[in-house]
Amino acid sequence: MKFNKFKTVIFLGLLAIVGVIFMQIFLLNQAYVFEKKDVEDKIHFALQDVVERIYRDNKTELPTTNLIKKVSENYFIVNVNDDFENQILEHYLKTEFERVKLELDFEYAIYDCTSESMVYGNYVSFKGEKSKTCVNCFPKNADLTYYFAIRFPYIKQTYFKSLSQYWGFTAVLFFVLIIYVYSVFLMLQQKRYTDLQKDFINNMTHEFKTPLASILIASNYANSQNEIKENPKLSKYIQIIINQSNKLNQHIEQILYFAKTDHNQVMIDKTKLDLMAILDLVKENILLKHQKEIVVQMILERNYVIKADEFHFYNMLYNIVDNAVKYADIKAIISIAAEENKRGLQLNLADNGVGIPANDLPFVFDKFYRVTRLDNQDVEGFGIGLSYVKRVCEWHKWKVSVKNNVEKGITVSIQINKNDYE
């Protein structure tokens, strides 16, 4: 499989997506760890202050050992090792949690020495909401005598709520990534369809050229026979076959050139060309092709020498003039003028045709685009003539534009660079 730029961009994009996802997961995990540690520190400090206030009330000396033990993520045991009352404990817990700005619902239980069991204290909600109590969630600890246990039933939900900003950023990030992946999928699908279309066009045109060449050979041979020459009707029909075959061959060549340009297979070979000689050749072939009355006026200040690819430069001018004749009324008048300006040499090809609606002007250089008009069925072509003109100008790094004339028809202007003419 060919490793081209398109595949490289997709591969790098996928690597970037994987990297961003891992980075976001890492950041979320770090934020969760920091938030968890912050909450646990607040709980520890608040419980430590509660113990200190109990010892201060009892006027006893505070032990130096750590009296707070974390049993699980939401369950703590506080070894007071001194007498305390239920109501005072609850008041101290509320006060200290509020002081450290820890708005967590909690429930607590106190060990009763007389019954040797945990006595459920109360469920405290900072928002005043009622919740199911869990009396059996406080197991007895045989190693301690004066202690209480405290439980935070919704501490995990608090962690996730506190990370709401991170979740919002993550949601936006994944939304963007989904759009990117979907766009890549559409581009791959479109590229596959485009490749199929190009292969079809190439195969179709090549298959057409073989029988068409046989028709032209046979027609030219028949046209050279005396029997055909002596019969005006047969000679006319043979000439029609030759003309239409040449026309069909020209259309096939145009389609083939477009298929090649899409694959970047066009090579430009610039040579010095006599502009007047090229224009005379275009005029001669146009007069041979069309039966209507045609007037081609050439207005050149001097005989210019153009540096361009001879084949494509001729075809470009031929296409413009051919379109001018197609869309002219009974008599086609084409004016070809060249004038020098600051940017170089500008070729202006004006006609007296039907013109182009203003809404269609921006799209006339698009491939297969045809202007909507009543005579479309009467005018031959595939809508690739002006698109080919634009391609040729792009290959030469020239500029091309089209505008409607004040009175009638259009003017196609080609701006040739200073380095491309003498």
Give the Cα-Cα-Cα angle 256, 262, 264 (nearest 5 degrees).
100
Q: For 383, which DSSP code?
A: S
Q: Which DSSP string do the residues of 95-155 spell out, in sequence order?
A: HHHHHTT----EEEEEEETTTTEEEEEEEE-TT-------GGG----TT-SSEEEEE-TTH
Give the pLDDT confidence score for residue 307 in this predicted structure.
Answer: 93
Over residues 143-163, mean pLDDT: 81
What does the alpha-carbon distance between residue 135 and residue 293 come to, in Å, rounded to a whole number?
A: 106
Neighbours of 328 (CB within 10 A): 22
Identify the pLDDT of residue 376: 46
Q: For residue 290, how many C-alpha atoms fall within 13 Å in the half-sphere facing its CB?
A: 25
Instruction: Say whether pLDDT at 374 is over 70.
Output: no
Model confidence pLDDT, tens digit, residues 285-301: 888 777 788 898 998 88
DSSP state of 63: P
Intra-chain end-to-end CA distance of the chain, in Å: 46
Q: CB-based contacts of 113: which residues, under 8 Å, 6+ apart?
A: 145, 146
The pLDDT value recorded for residue 128 is 67
In the chain, the percentage of residues whose pLDDT exceeds 70 is 88
pLDDT band at residue 275, thresholds of 50, 70 and 90? very high
Mean pLDDT of the residues in the chain: 81
Measured CA to CA, the distance from residue 264 to residue 418 in angstroms comes to 26
Top mean pLDDT of 50-54, 61-65, 223-227, 383-387 is at: 50-54
Nearest 5°: the CA angle 164, 167, 171 is 140
DSSP character string of 332-348: EEEEEEEEEETTEEEEE
Structure confidence by residue, pLDDT tens digits, 44-61 = 888 988 888 888 888 888
Q: Which comes out higher in pLDDT, residue 263 or 49? A: 49
CB 316 within 8 A of CB 386: no
- Cross-strand partners of 149: 77, 109
- If one counts every other C-beta atom within 10 angstroms of the C-beta of residue 220, the result is 13
**Computed over its alpha carbons, how large is the radius of gyration of the chain?**
44
pLDDT band at 266 (very low <50, low <70, confident <90, very high): low
Tell me, what amino acid is at 56?
Answer: R
Strand pairing partners for 345?
Answer: 340, 416
Of 33-42, 229-238, 380-389, 410-419, where does mean pLDDT reach its minimum? Answer: 380-389
Q: How far is C-alpha 153 from the geometric centre of its chain's CA atoms?
A: 47
Q: What is the spatial distance between Cα 41 and Cα 36, in angstroms, rounded to a whole number?
A: 9
Binning pLDDT at 50, 70 and 90, where does residue 276 land? very high
In this predicted structure, what is the pLDDT of residue 2? 46
How many H-runs (helices) and E-runs (strands) does the chain carry?
Answer: 9, 12
- Measured CA to CA, the distance from residue 222 to residue 131 in angstroms comes to 103
The predicted-structure confidence for 166-197, as pLDDT tens digits, reads as follows 777 778 888 888 888 888 788 778 877 777 77
Question: In angstroms, how far is CA 345 from the centroid of its own chain?
Answer: 38
Torsion-angle region of residue 59: left (phi > 0), alpha (psi -120 to 50) or beta?
Answer: left
Residue 412 pLDDT grade (very low, low, confident, very high; cuts 50, 70, 90): very high
Compute the distance between CA of residue 86 and CA of residue 84 in angstroms, rounded to an integer: 7
Confidence category of residue 346, pLDDT binned at 50, 70, 90? very high
**DSSP run (H or E) holding 331:** strand 331-341
Angle at 84 (CA atoms; ends 131, 112), nearest 5 degrees: 70
Q: What is the dihedral of CA 165, 170, 173, 175, to 10 degrees?
A: -110
* Contact of 304 with 422, CB cutoff 8 Å: yes
Q: Is the pLDDT of residue 205 over 70?
A: no
Which of 369, 381, 282, 283 lies closest to 327, judged by CA? Answer: 381
Amino acid of residue 66:
N
Which has the minimum average pLDDT: 95-109, 380-394, 408-422?
380-394
Separation between Cα atoms, residue 317 and residue 315, nearest integer Å: 6
Rounded to 10 degrees, what is the CA torsion of 381, 387, 388, 391?
A: -170
